[in-house]
Structure 1
Amino acid sequence: MKRIVIFASGSGSNAENLIKYFKTKTNASVTLVLTNNPHAKVLDRCKNLKVSALSFNKVAFTETEDVLNLLKSAKPDLIILAGFLWKFPESILNKYPNMVINVHPALLPKFGGKGMYGMRVHEAIVANKEPETGITIHYVNENYDEGATIFQATCPVLSTDTADDVAAKIHELEMEHFPVIVEKVLNQKEA
């Protein structure tokens, strides 16, 4: 059975969606969720779904090998960033090359980079009068939102759309596509 570890920073709706999706599968499961926010709602979601979840601080993530050692113990086949806001350290990326993927709420390379996450992205899309937006599922490298693209899905942005409207559309795309693409990536790793 393939093992998935998720990193999340906030409410954890994508993490919950992934956990529920893989509970119905026989080839993979989410075995651990890690968060940099000890008050993140994702911890409650994991408790309710009976999935191990732990929080960590910046020192454990970037200055020591504490988080890396947690990952070594978890033996992940794939690491998923689902609303995780910190830059991933090269020490972890080097240990798990092409094994860390992220979902970004825009069509990269547009609206990516440091500080471009969540509502900031949706507000920028509306302000720039973009005709469409979408999600990008991509590999994570040492630079924000610059890893190789795995998949993109688009949706229209209407002239009447607010940032909240765009956020709702993006959420739907994430719920529909993220688990399916994660499963495809896992299956490719078997081949």
Structure 2
Amino acid sequence: MTKRLVVFASGTGTNFEALADHFDRSQTARIVALVSDHERAPVVAKAQARGVPVITLDYRRYATKQAAEAALIQQLPPCDLLVLAGFMRIIGETLLAAFPNRIINLHPALLPSFPGRTGIEDAFNYGVKVTGVTVHFVDAGIDSGQIIAQAPVLIGKATTLETLETAIHDVEHHLLPQTIEDLIKEEKI
């Protein structure tokens, strides 16, 4: 049975594209919706070009995060997994309760080191020799959920912040789809 994914993204959408391309080939899952908190984010146009329905969640229209998430739940199509792929908001208790152990996040560092939105820059500035990418389940903390998969990225002497970002994104584009594929094969979703 083909699994149904809802991808959450706030930016350019390169991980959305990597997921869409992967599952167009494998047919084990399909993206049934994109959720974005920015209606003009480039990922929105990418989803629309692929015929993926887009749900824009403007948190400012709601009194609380709980109210915003409750409204979102009413708009979501039936799905098996929520995939945070560059979604720059913290998921609240409302979504966590509605999708227990069915929300995963892609983080651009080797957790538990360098959590938060500046993981790449933090690792680079700290001077580590190895950083990487983590896929983990989402819990109530910030990048603190159970780790599902990780992949390293070496930082060499000639590495700049820009080349590190590119290397991290290249790894993300492979690790995230493969991790979801593995979860499906292992019947964990």
TM-score by length of 2: 0.92
Q: Which residues in structure 2 correspond to 1:116-155 (within 5 Å)?
A: 116-117=116-117, 120-155=118-153
Q: Distance between the aligned counterparts of 2:160 and 2:28, measured in 1? A: 40
Residue deviations 1:84-110 (CA, integer Å, cap 9, x gap): 011101111111111000110000011
The answer to whether the 8 A contact 2:102-2:137 is kept is yes
The answer to whether the 8 A contact 1:77-1:186 is kept is no
Q: Distance between the aligned counterparts of 1:62 and 1:187, measured in 2? A: 33
Identify the residue that residue 75 of structure 1 maps to in structure 2.
78
Identify the residue that residue 157 of structure 1 maps to in structure 2.
155
Change (3 A) 1:61 1:70: farther
Q: Which residues in structure 2 correspond to 1:43-62 (within 5 Å)?
A: 43-58=44-59, 59=62, 62=66
Deviation at 1:27, TM superposition (A): 2.6
Q: Which residues in structure 2 correspond to 1:1-191 (within 5 Å)?
A: 1-58=2-59, 59=62, 62-64=66-68, 65-71=70-76, 74-112=77-115, 116-117=116-117, 120-189=118-187
Q: Which amino acid aligns with 1:37?
A: H
The answer to whether the 8 A contact 1:33-1:53 is kept is yes
Deviation at 1:134, TM superposition (A): 0.3
Q: Distance between the aligned counterparts of 1:154 and 1:78, measured in 2? A: 25
Which structure 1 residue ranges, 5 or more long, are not aligned? none
Q: Distance between the aligned counterparts of 1:126 and 1:147, measured in 2? A: 23
Q: Distance between the aligned counterparts of 2:26 and 2:15, measured in 1? A: 17
Count of residue correspondences: 184
Deviation at 1:61, TM superposition (A): 5.2
Q: Distance between the aligned counterparts of 1:16 and 1:52, measured in 2? A: 14
Deviation at 1:187, TM superposition (A): 2.6
The answer to whether the 8 A contact 2:132-2:152 is kept is yes
Which structure 2 residue ranges, 5 or more long, are not aligned? none
Q: CA RMSD in A?
A: 1.6
The answer to whether the 8 A contact 1:78-1:186 is kept is no
Residue deviations 1:102-123 (CA, integer Å, cap 9, x gap): 11000001100xxx32xx3222
Secondary structure, aligned partner of 1:22 = helix
Change (3 A) 1:101 1:159: same
TM-score by length of 1: 0.91
Residue deviations 1:23-53 (CA, integer Å, cap 9, x gap): 1233311110010011110011011111111
